[in-house]
């Protein structure tokens, strides 16, 4: 059961969300999956280890990249 303070905060959040047009729920997997066969081939061609890939290079192989809203 919510305390009085929590209940008031919950009501305030609902009112603010209503004014803003509703709630937004961000649904994204908690883990990122990679295309390891493609990553392996890329590393083989470049002569590097998977551990040597930069963050930008890793993004090339993400199977479920993050949603970007701009």
Residue 37, pLDDT above cutoff 90: yes
Contacts of 67 (CB under 8 A, 6+ apart): 26, 28
Mean pLDDT along residues 12-16:
85
Residue 43 or residue 63, greater confidence? 43
User: What's the whole-model pTM score?
Assistant: 0.52
Residues above pLDDT 90, as percent of the chain = 39
The conformation of residue 34, written as its DSSP 8-state character, comes to B
> What is the pLDDT, as a whole number, of residue 10?
84
Distance CA 16, CA 32 (A): 33
Nearest to 16 by CA among 5, 28, 24, 27: 24
């Amino acid at each position: 059961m919510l305390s009085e303070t929590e209940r008031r905060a919950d009501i305030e959040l609902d009112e603010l969300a209503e004014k803003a047009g509703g709630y937004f729920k961000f649904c994204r997997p908690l883990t990122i999956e990679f295309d390891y066969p493609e990553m392996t081939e890329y590393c083989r061609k470049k002569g590097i280890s998977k551990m040597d890939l930069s963050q930008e290079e890793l993004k090339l192989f993400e199977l479920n990249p993050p949603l970007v809203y701009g």
